[in-house]
Structure 1
Amino acid sequence: MPAALAIGDFSRATSLSIKTLRHYHRVGLLAPAQVDADTGYRWYTTDQIPTAQVIRRFRTLDMPLEQIHAVLQAPDLATRNELISAHLASLEQNLARTQSAVASLRDLLAGPSPAAPVSHRQVEAVTAAAVTAHIAMSDLVPWYSGALAELQATLEAQGLRTAGPTGGMFAGELFTDEAGQATVFVPTTIEVPRLGRVEPLLVPAAELAVIEHPGSLADVDRAYGSLAAYVADHELRLDGPIREYYLVGRQDTADEGQWRTEVCWPIFSTGAAA
């Protein structure tokens, strides 16, 4: 029969504070082997030490308590490993985002890079298949990915061909109020029927100031900043949604270094060349 340890001794044995052990007990993650009915004092056994050590290591990897509980309660080894692998994949994604942010910050600290050239373009109205929603800025990336996948699946199922690069239109409120209307669209040769979230859309004609951003969208704000400065300097700005055209994007390759995105600001053209 395993030996019993008072909570203080168990704390020293596992490097988990008494406060933490009490919290784990309250949430049902690591219950003591015995609780004194009169004093409420907690006792643990030596065979609980490995479980406590596993919990501590998962916490150092920022695994949420509910996920740790799911791992500990997994019915079989395959399920347990699947849960652990999913968390490790999430950590790797976070690490990649952190590394990208660090690289971007180093570039900024090194000094401003030469701004990409800005061009003027007049685009005609085009027929498109689109998904539109009012979303929070924090949900933009997952919403965009889901909307794009739905658009591609719908067009493929109906045997429709695209007639231009995928684009997006984003209301000003999405930037200023962190919530607003967003649209992802794919130009088509004919009008598409409404199906699920996909609906036909006539993307309006517009005059645009355009700057091209190469690579990941993690630092596309630099292109936005350069374009905004240009538009302000030339007093060309019009109210209207910002557009993005994904010349090469996630729909083409998973290699973010190959992506090319046009950021477009609606303008009132004076006929001056950019």
Structure 2
Amino acid sequence: MLSISEFAEMCHLTPQTLRYYHAEGLLVPAGVDERTGHRSYAFEQVEQAMLITLLRDTGMSVKLVREALDEPDRALALLERHRDDVERQRVAQDEAIQAARAVFDAQPQVRPRHVPATTVVAAFVHDTPLGRDAREWEQAENLIAAATAELVAQVERAGLTRRGRPWRTLALETPGRDRRVLDGEGPFWLVKVPVSGTAEALAALPAGLLVQEQPARDELSIFMPGRNTMAKYGTVILRLLNAGPLDGGQLVNVAHLRQEIHEDGVLTSAPVLPAG
């Protein structure tokens, strides 16, 4: 029999790791002294320790390692599943690294701009969740993206010409809509496409779409690299609110934010309102 220190040295593990494996039921000592609690191991347990180390070195969780050891016939399938999970994590980490580098490199700044008047076609996005957590936010993003793609397709089928990128905005355009959004009834979002075309083409749009005249306005805008997230959405609101004093006591209306989704990030803009 080997003491825990001797067995740990032989297997290139630490005694602490062996105690942890014992507690998790992965590698139970051949004997435990009832009086002292000292663990001892049989030489035959070296193979079990080797298998555990192989699997743990892949990044497998203790739970998956236990499954692989308890059911050796499933070990290869479990390894394949774990490899797929690792690949997904690598892709997600690469995207996160790129997004972090882009934000720190760009140091997003608030900039003023003027938006000319334009005609827009708008549609409500129905059945989006409130976005109270990351899962709901992702669901809402997917639904808004799908509604935007469908609206663009409807505009093009009607023979209208797009005059810029589509955008999304909270459905806060009338007091009645405000109450539905604030009360959590929805729909919460509108998607809009700036267009030009004949009156006949506008009249040919499917029922349920809105045709609006968007007046010219001054805005403050900020471009945030990477995909849209709750934290980034909150950050751009803070930066817009803290952009500094505006001429003549003007105000930034963050309730009427609009967001354009670009391939490499999100451009968020808020109208600048005159004082009073």
- Normalized against structure 2, the TM-score is what? 0.58
Tell me the residue number matched to 2:83. 84
Q: By how many angstroms is 1:14 displaced?
A: 3.6
Pair 1:65-2:62 in alignment: yes
Pair 1:38-2:37 in alignment: no
**Paired residues of 2:129 and 2:140 also in contact (CA < 8 A):** no
Q: By how many angstroms is 1:140 displaced?
A: 6.6
The alignment of Structure 1 onto Structure 2 pairs a total of residues equal to 231
Within 5 Å, which residues of 2 pair with 1:92-241?
A: 92-108=91-107, 116-120=111-115, 126-136=122-132, 138-139=134-135, 142-148=138-144, 151=147, 161=154, 165-169=166-170, 183=188, 185-187=190-192, 189-190=205-206, 209-211=219-221, 213=223, 215-217=225-227, 227-230=240-243, 232-234=245-247, 235-238=250-253, 240-241=255-256
Within 5 Å, which residues of 2 pair with 1:20-59?
A: 20-28=17-25, 30-32=26-28, 34-36=30-32, 38-39=34-35, 40=37, 41-43=39-41, 45-59=45-59
Deviations 1:8-28 (A, max 9, x none): 223223443323322233233
Q: By how many angstroms is 1:137 displaced?
A: 5.7
**Paired residues of 1:126 and 1:205 also in contact (CA < 8 A):** no
Identify if the C-alpha distance between structure 1 residues 53 and 203 changes in structure 2 by more than 3 Å, giving closer, same or farther.
farther
* AA at the equivalent of 2:268: V
Identify if the C-alpha distance between structure 1 residues 242 and 107 changes in structure 2 by more than 3 Å, giving closer, same or farther.
closer
Identify if the C-alpha distance between structure 1 residues 22 and 202 changes in structure 2 by more than 3 Å, giving closer, same or farther.
farther
CA RMSD for the aligned pairs? 4.7
Segments of 5+ residues of structure 2 without an aligned counterpart are 157-164, 173-183, 194-204
Alpha-carbon separation, structure 1, partners of 2:238 and 2:221: 10
Tell me the residue number matched to 1:7. 4
Share of identical aligned residues, percent?
Answer: 14
Identify if the C-alpha distance between structure 1 residues 161 and 5 changes in structure 2 by more than 3 Å, giving closer, same or farther.
farther
Deviations 1:87-128 (A, max 9, x none): 2330342144124424533554xxxx8765523466768333
Tell me, what secondary structure is at the counterpart of 1:244?
strand
**Paired residues of 1:169 and 1:183 also in contact (CA < 8 A):** yes
- The worse-fitting range, judged by mean Cα deviation, of 232-241 and 120-129 is 120-129
Alpha-carbon separation, structure 1, partners of 2:24 and 2:46: 21
Bigger helix share:
2
Tell me, what secondary structure is at the counterpart of 1:134?
coil
Alpha-carbon separation, structure 2, partners of 1:90 and 1:152: 29
Which residue of 216, 238, 257 corresponds with 1:242? 257
- Normalized against structure 1, the TM-score is what? 0.58
Tell me the residue number matched to 1:263. 268
Q: By how many angstroms is 1:136 displaced?
A: 3.3
